[in-house]
Amino acid sequence: MDEQKPYPHLIRRDAIEKSESTFAHPWNPKSEITGTHLSGLGGLERTGVSLVRLAPGKESFAYHLHHREEEWIYVLSGLGLATVDGEQYEMNPGDFIAFPTPSVPHLMANPGDESLVYLMGGESRQYEIADFPTLDKRMIRRGPEIEIFELSAAKPFGAPETSEDT
């Protein structure tokens, strides 16, 4: 076989394994995700795809929902427990779950005794709003800028101010 010019968007297994890192969501003490942001390695900017591994007893992020970005999960191995809008669903290899926007609150956990491995992906929009209903928080992301607000402090636009507001 002749020497091939390398295609810059073909990411080999060894590069994927070398770029693996661990992340924990700061609002969930059980959060610990080990994985690789595949789409970033491949140069994709509008689509997010990650290879993720959760150790036994660990959770993905904080229980959250998205207003603008769709998200999905495809289980490769292990046992997962998806909490979706207050209900729990067992997730096994070959199972797929989607969160179209506006999504309902969701969280992935590993209740098993071996690693849970899955592909996770979705949109990477310039602007996103995500709510964390059990934490009374709303995140607004504008590019690299992130702001956090209390959900309970929100008021409808044009609502009259009360003495508590001044």
Tell me if 121 is assigned to some domain.
yes
Using an 8 Å Cβ cutoff, are 130 and 139 in contact?
yes
Residue 163: per-residue pLDDT: 63
Residue 164: per-residue pLDDT: 63
Question: Tens digit of pLDDT for each residue in 33-65?
Answer: 999 999 999 999 999 999 999 999 999 999 999
CATH of the domain at 106: 2.60.120.10
Average pLDDT value for residue range 9-20: 96
Enter the pTM of the model.
0.89
Residue 165: per-residue pLDDT: 58
Tell me if 66 is assigned to some domain.
yes
Tell me if 63 is assigned to some domain.
yes
pLDDT at 5 over 90: no
Tell me if 29 is assigned to some domain.
yes
Tell me if 109 is assigned to some domain.
yes
What phi, psi does 51 have (nearest 5°)? -95, 120
Tell me if 3 is assigned to some domain.
no
Tell me if 154 is assigned to some domain.
no
d(CA 42, CA 37): 9
Structure tokens at 140: 């607004």
Residue 160: per-residue pLDDT: 72
Q: Where are the alpha helices (DSSP H) in 48-114?
A: none
Question: Tens digit of pLDDT for each residue in 77-135?
Answer: 999 999 999 999 999 999 999 999 999 999 999 999 999 999 999 999 999 999 999 99
Average pLDDT value for residue range 146-163: 86
Tell me if 46 is assigned to some domain.
yes
User: How many domains, the chain?
Assistant: 1
Residue-number span of the structural domain to which 60 is assigned: 21-125
Residue 2: per-residue pLDDT: 62
